[in-house]
């Protein structure tokens, strides 16, 4: 099938598709549209985000509606409010030349009264989330007695979100003589149960997986220690000044934590997760769609229905357990002819999962090195110069200020003026990445060489005592931050860390010990003076009173104000070099 005109769809629908720029049906559309136009047999379709599944079921639904019948004839169920609105909007666009056809979206998180009012008028197609549909049915405001077609879109997600009982209640209240269309990315046990119980001898259709193999999407991975994931995320953002992407996390807590850290570190980011109210979700998604946000940190479920074609990056902060979920995530970039990059941040034991995704999706990952400080600074500098070169100058508005500006800067030569201007905008990156370490995990050959080097005594470690412990809310990450700040560097090798209740022990490169002990006297942590001593000769079982710190006061310069010592936060600059031996 080379065009939609061959499908047999109404002329009004074909005209709408032409105005929308739809040319050739996708594989899932080729398979479903002719069947749904000519048969009332149930179908199970395997289709994922980005394959055109909304049009696959939506165009036949619209084609078969009797506009003279004002009651609901088609019910489309989907897991989230965002997807509900997206489907309703797409169907409205597809049917804009069909007079008398009305599509109503009903969903939770919004007032039910306007939805009841809309259903009381004309509503031939109802797009709903399961919870709100069940509520309206129980109130006798949603009458399904005339429904001829039921669509379960993303059935696997609806079941994973706990809508099993709602789906059972809804499906048991629609006429038995109906056509049921089930669209799902995966066929879980519950999806099969739904199909067995509520479908009549369905045929199975499937489309090629999402465009992971497309030339528009590149798949790369960075391999680092788990503790360095956030640093990798920041470096990806820093080396891509115009990044516009989604960062996928596994849990709500991780989503909130990562988004909070990004915002604290000055990045244009926010979080999307299940703990947000509907008003908060709408605000975040509105900002992201309008590109007021560059990075959206989200869980898989929360990102459902967020349809943006211009994404430059999809970043897997954690790989999903199911390779199919990676398919969902990656398909959100490289759309509408744009290029996209799908990034996976993995640790040493996750190569097997990369291989699983490659086998499952017929794609090939490329291993890349985490950008270093020099590369990032170079990219940021050139981005700044490009911005200055292309900025629009409004002569009329700035003219009154120019004489005084010229007078203030007349002592600077052209070369010095450029240096001052670039430094004013760029010093933050230069300062942060001045001592940026290589956080890439070495390959087998490099690990062997480093091990042999340590065996030759080239990397000796010393065991130190610090008078802070769990009682002081010390964590390994914060200990690394204290060490890095005291040494004014993140290059020191830190080995085993033991956090006790009121004190701790840690291993560190012997060459840094004297400097660390001398410098730490100037710092405090949450108001407690810090003391670090050599621990080789000490009895680990002695009480903490023996090891009380002998700090000599608190440092009062500006350096401490941005660190963990005053606020106790997890500032990203404290991510040190940790070597678990």
Confidence band (pLDDT; 50, 70, 90) for 539?
very low
How many CB atoms are closer than 10 A to CB 203? 12
* Assigned domain for 522 exists: yes
Length of the chain: 581
The mean pLDDT of 273-285, rounded to a whole number, is: 83
Confidence band (pLDDT; 50, 70, 90) for 270?
very high
- Residue 202 sits at the vertex; the CA angle it makes with 201 and 208, to the nearest 5 degrees, is 155
Helix, strand, or coil (residue 466): strand
**pLDDT tops 70 at residue 552:** no
pLDDT for the residue numbered 189: 74
Claim to verify: residue 474 and residue 523 sit in the same structural domain: yes
* Assigned domain for 113 exists: yes
The mean pLDDT of 212-234, rounded to a whole number, is: 85
The mean pLDDT of 229-234, rounded to a whole number, is: 94
**Cβ contact 341:272 at 8 Å:** no
Domain boundary pick from 371, 397, 420: 371
pLDDT for the residue numbered 173: 87
pLDDT for the residue numbered 213: 42
Claim to verify: residue 170 and residue 62 sit in the same structural domain: yes
Claim to verify: residue 236 and residue 354 sit in the same structural domain: yes
pLDDT for the residue numbered 572: 36
- Cα–Cα dist 40/459, whole Å: 73
The mean pLDDT of 25-43, rounded to a whole number, is: 89
Percentage of the residues of the chain whose pLDDT score is greater than 70: 85
Long-range contacts of 10-14 (CB under 8 A, 24+ apart): 10/63, 10/98, 12/95, 12/97, 12/98, 13/59, 13/62, 13/63, 13/94, 13/95, 13/97, 13/98
**pLDDT tops 50 at residue 95:** yes
Q: State the pTM of this model.
A: 0.56
pLDDT for the residue numbered 221: 96
Claim to verify: residue 111 and residue 233 sit in the same structural domain: no
Claim to verify: residue 352 and residue 463 sit in the same structural domain: no
Claim to verify: residue 176 and residue 64 sit in the same structural domain: yes
Claim to verify: residue 32 and residue 165 sit in the same structural domain: yes
Question: How far, rounded to the nearest angstrom, does the alpha carbon of residue 261 sit from its chain's CA centroid?
Answer: 14
**pLDDT tops 60 at residue 196:** yes
pLDDT for the residue numbered 542: 43
pLDDT for the residue numbered 106: 96
Domain boundary pick from 371, 393, 419: 371
- Cα–Cα dist 474/149, whole Å: 59
* Assigned domain for 335 exists: yes
Q: Which of 36-40, 156-160, 440-444 has the highest mean pLDDT?
A: 36-40
The per-residue pLDDT of the chain, averaged, comes to 82
Confidence band (pLDDT; 50, 70, 90) for 116?
very high
* Assigned domain for 437 exists: no
- Cα–Cα dist 303/284, whole Å: 11
pLDDT for the residue numbered 473: 87
The residue assigned the tokens 């399904």 is: 144
Instruction: Write out the DSSP string of 160-229.
Output: HTT-HHHHHHHHTTS-SSSEEEEEESS--HHHHHHHHHH-SS-EEEE-PPPGGGSTTEEEEEEEB-GGGH
* Assigned domain for 490 exists: yes
Interval 398-433: pLDDT, tens: 888 989 988 988 898 888 888 887 787 777 777 788
Q: Which of 137-146, 299-308, 382-391, 535-544 has the highest mean pLDDT?
A: 137-146
Q: Which of 262-266, 304-308, 486-490, 563-567 has the highest mean pLDDT?
A: 262-266
**pLDDT tops 50 at residue 485:** yes
pLDDT for the residue numbered 211: 39
Claim to verify: residue 198 and residue 317 sit in the same structural domain: no
* Assigned domain for 34 exists: yes
**pLDDT tops 50 at residue 140:** yes
Q: Tokens representing 310?
A: 């211009």
pLDDT for the residue numbered 16: 93
Class of residue 168 by CB neighbours under 10 A (exposed 0-12, middle 13-18, buried 19+): middle
Domains in the chain, number: 4
pLDDT for the residue numbered 444: 59
pLDDT for the residue numbered 148: 95
Percentage of the residues of the chain whose pLDDT score is greater than 90: 38
Interval 56-85: pLDDT, tens: 999 999 999 999 999 999 999 998 888 898
The mean pLDDT of 215-230, rounded to a whole number, is: 89
Interval 165-192: pLDDT, tens: 899 899 988 998 999 999 887 666 777 8
Claim to verify: residue 452 and residue 512 sit in the same structural domain: yes
pLDDT for the residue numbered 193: 82
Claim to verify: residue 365 and residue 385 sit in the same structural domain: no
* Assigned domain for 473 exists: yes
Domain boundary pick from 206, 225, 254: 206
Interval 37-52: pLDDT, tens: 988 999 998 766 667 8
Q: What is the CATH number of the domain that holds 220?
A: 3.40.50.300
HSE (side-chain half, CA atoms, 13 Å) at 85: 14
How many CB atoms are closer than 10 A to CB 196? 9
Claim to verify: residue 142 and residue 194 sit in the same structural domain: yes
Among 89-103, 263-277, 299-313, 407-421, where is mean pLDDT lowest? 299-313
Confidence band (pLDDT; 50, 70, 90) for 573?
very low
Claim to verify: residue 404 and residue 296 sit in the same structural domain: no
The mean pLDDT of 518-527, rounded to a whole number, is: 84
Q: Which residues span the domain enclosing 293?
A: 211-371
- Cα–Cα dist 459/303, whole Å: 46
* Assigned domain for 64 exists: yes
């Amino acid at each position: 099938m080379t065009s939609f005109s061959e499908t047999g769809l109404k002329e009004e629908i074909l005209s709408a598709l032409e105005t929308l720029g739809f040319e050739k049906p996708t594989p899932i559309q080729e398979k479903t549209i002719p069947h749904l136009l000519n048969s009332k047999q149930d179908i199970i379709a395997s289709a994922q985000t980005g394959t055109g599944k909304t049009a696959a079921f939506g165009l036949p639904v619209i084609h078969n509606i009797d506009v003279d019948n004002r009651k609901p004839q088609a019910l489309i169920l989907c897991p989230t409010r965002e997807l509900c609105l997206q489907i309703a909007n797409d169907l409205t666009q597809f049917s804009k030349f069909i007079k008398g056809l009305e599509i109503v979206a009903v969903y939770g998180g919004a007032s039910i009264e306007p939805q009841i009012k809309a259903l009381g008028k004309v509503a031939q197609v109802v797009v709903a989330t399961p919870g709100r549909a069940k509520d309206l049915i129980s109130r006798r405001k949603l009458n399904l007695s005339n429904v001829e077609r039921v669509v379960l879109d993303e059935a696997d997600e609806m079941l994973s979100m706990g809508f099993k009982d709602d789906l059972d209640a809804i499906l048991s209240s629609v006429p038995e003589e109906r056509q049921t269309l089930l669209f799902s990315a995966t066929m879980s046990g519950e999806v099969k149960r739904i199909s067995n119980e509520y479908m009549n001898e369905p045929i199975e259709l499937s489309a090629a997986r999402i465009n992971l193999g497309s030339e528009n999407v590149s798949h790369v991975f960075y391999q680092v220690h788990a503790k360095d994931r956030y640093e990798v995320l920041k470096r990806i953002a820093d080396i891509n000044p115009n990044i516009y992407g989604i960062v996928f996390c596994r849990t709500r807590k991780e989503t909130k934590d990562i988004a909070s850290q990004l915002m604290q570190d000055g990045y244009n980011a926010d979080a999307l997760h299940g703990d947000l109210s509907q008003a908060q979700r709408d605000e975040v998604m509105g900002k992201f769609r309008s590109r007021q946000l560059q990075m959206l940190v989200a869980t898989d479920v929360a990102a459902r229905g967020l349809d943006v074609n211009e994404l430059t990056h999809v970043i897997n902060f954690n790989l999903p357990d199911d390779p199919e979920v990676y398919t969902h995530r990656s398909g959100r970039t490289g759309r509408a002819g744009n290029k996209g990059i799908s990034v996976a941040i993995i640790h040493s034991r996750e190569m097997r999962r990369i291989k699983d995704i490659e086998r499952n999706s017929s794609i090939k990952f490329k291993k890349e090195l985490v950008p270093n400080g020099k590369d990032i600074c170079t990219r940021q500098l050139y981005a700044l110069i490009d911005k200055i070169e292309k900025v629009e100058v409004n002569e009329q508005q700035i003219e009154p200020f120019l004489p005084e500006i010229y007078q203030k800067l007349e002592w600077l030569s052209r070369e010095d003026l450029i240096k001052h201007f670039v430094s004013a905008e760029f010093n933050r990156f230069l300062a942060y990445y001045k001592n940026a370490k290589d956080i890439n995990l070495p390959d087998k050959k490099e690990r062997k060489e480093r091990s042999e080097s340590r065996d030759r005594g080239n990397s000796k470690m010393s065991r130190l005592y610090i008078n802070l412990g769990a009682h002081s809310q010390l964590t390994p990450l914060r200990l690394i931050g204290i060490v890095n700040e005291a040494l004014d560097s993140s290059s020191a090798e830190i080995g085993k860390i033991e956090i006790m209740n009121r004190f701790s022990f840690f291993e560190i490169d012997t060459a840094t010990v004297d400097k660390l002990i001398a410098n730490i006297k100037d710092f405090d942590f949450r108001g407690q003076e810090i003391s670090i001593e050599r621990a080789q000769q000490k009895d680990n079982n002695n009480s903490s009173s023996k090891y009380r710190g002998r700090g000599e006061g608190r440092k009062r310069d500006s350096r401490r104000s941005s660190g963990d010592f005053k606020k106790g936060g997890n500032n990203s600059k404290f991510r040190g070099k940790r070597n678990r031996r």
